């Protein structure tokens, strides 16, 4: 039986490499999938395939390509600390350049050419999806528990595309005041700010201790509905 998803690693000129997952029909809207601090690991590749099954051409770039190409990290102990350290080396100016390069590469793919393109990200990637909305010309963006967004609200006027935010109800990294600041900043924008009571940071990742299946399923459904409405 032929696998419904075709996937491979591809090189991107001057921007590292990325994991590409194609939908069963071979074509569809583009979706830039932005990793957590743990690299494009098995979980992120599975998420890419999950969204490819829903009809999107998914590109998951290696954010740490300069310092640790294709690194895959676990979620605890020294590996988690390694991810935090790598995230700390990222520079705003190179991140924006990389985001633009990744978006351009996805728009140039024959499988998604002339179609709309969105961004979705988790944790670090949630903040990067927000930056993609401000700087990289995506048509929609979804940010799961993106740390630091509330400290970059000066970018809100630059965001013209619809956005959807997902936040854990009990996130040690993102306090309620930060979520409220995002909600208020986007009050006049086409945006949804969604919270999941009783959940913790990383609730969408089935490989983490904080995984919450009901919340993850609800968030996935909301994300798919949002992306279907804005990109197809």
Catalytic residue among 62, 139, 171, 212: 171
Kindly report the number of other CB atoms within 10 A of residue 217's CB atom.
11
Q: Is 223 exposed, middle or buried (0-12, 13-18, 19+ CB in 10 A)?
A: buried
Catalytic residue among 123, 139, 150, 166: 123
Radius of gyration of the chain from its Cα atoms, rounded to whole angstroms: 16
Catalytic residue among 43, 150, 166, 201: 201
Q: Which letter does DSSP use for residue 165 in this model?
A: E
Q: How far is the C-alpha of 215 from the C-alpha of 199, rounded, in Å?
A: 8
**Contact at 8 Å (CB) between 94 and 128?**
no
Q: Catalytic annotation on 201?
A: yes
Q: How far is the C-alpha of 205 from the C-alpha of 39, rounded, in Å?
A: 13
CA-angle at 206, arms to 15 and 60, nearest 5°: 15
Q: Catalytic annotation on 150?
A: no
**Contact at 8 Å (CB) between 174 and 201?**
yes
Q: Give me the helices (H) in the chain, please.
A: 42-53, 77-88, 92-108, 124-135, 176-185, 213-231
- Altogether, the residues listed in the chain come to a count of 232
Q: How far is the C-alpha of 162 from the C-alpha of 140, rounded, in Å?
A: 5
Phi/psi for 167 (5° steps) reads -130, 140
Just list the catalytic residues: 123, 171, 201
């Amino acid at each position: 039986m032929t696998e419904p998803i075709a996937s491979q690693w591809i090189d991107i000129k001057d921007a590292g490499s990325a994991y590409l997952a194609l939908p069963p029909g071979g074509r569809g809207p583009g979706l830039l999938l932005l990793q957590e601090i743990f690299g494009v690991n098995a979980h992120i590749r599975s998420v890419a395939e999950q969204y490819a099954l829903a009809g999107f051409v998914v590109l998951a770039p290696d954010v740490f390509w300069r310092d640790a190409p294709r690194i895959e990290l676990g979620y605890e102990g020294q590996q988690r600390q390694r991810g935090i350290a790598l995230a700390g080396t990222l520079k705003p100016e190179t991140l924006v350049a990389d985001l633009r390069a990744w978006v351009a590469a996805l728009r140039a793919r024959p499988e998604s050419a002339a179609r709309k393109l969105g961004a979705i990200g988790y944790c670090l990637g949630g903040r990067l999806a927000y930056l993609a909305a401000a700087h990289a010309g995506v048509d929609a963006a979804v940010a799961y528990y993106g740390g630091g967004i509330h400290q970059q609200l000066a970018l809100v006027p630059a965001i013209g595309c619809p956005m959807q935010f997902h936040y854990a109800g009990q996130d040690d990294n993102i306090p309620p005041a930060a979520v409220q600041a995002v909600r208020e900043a986007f009050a006049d924008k086409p945006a949804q700010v969604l919270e999941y009571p009783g959940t913790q940071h990383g609730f969408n990742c089935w490989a983490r201790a904080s995984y919450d299946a009901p919340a993850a399923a609800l968030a996935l459904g909301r994300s798919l509905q949002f992306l279907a409405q804005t990109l197809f």
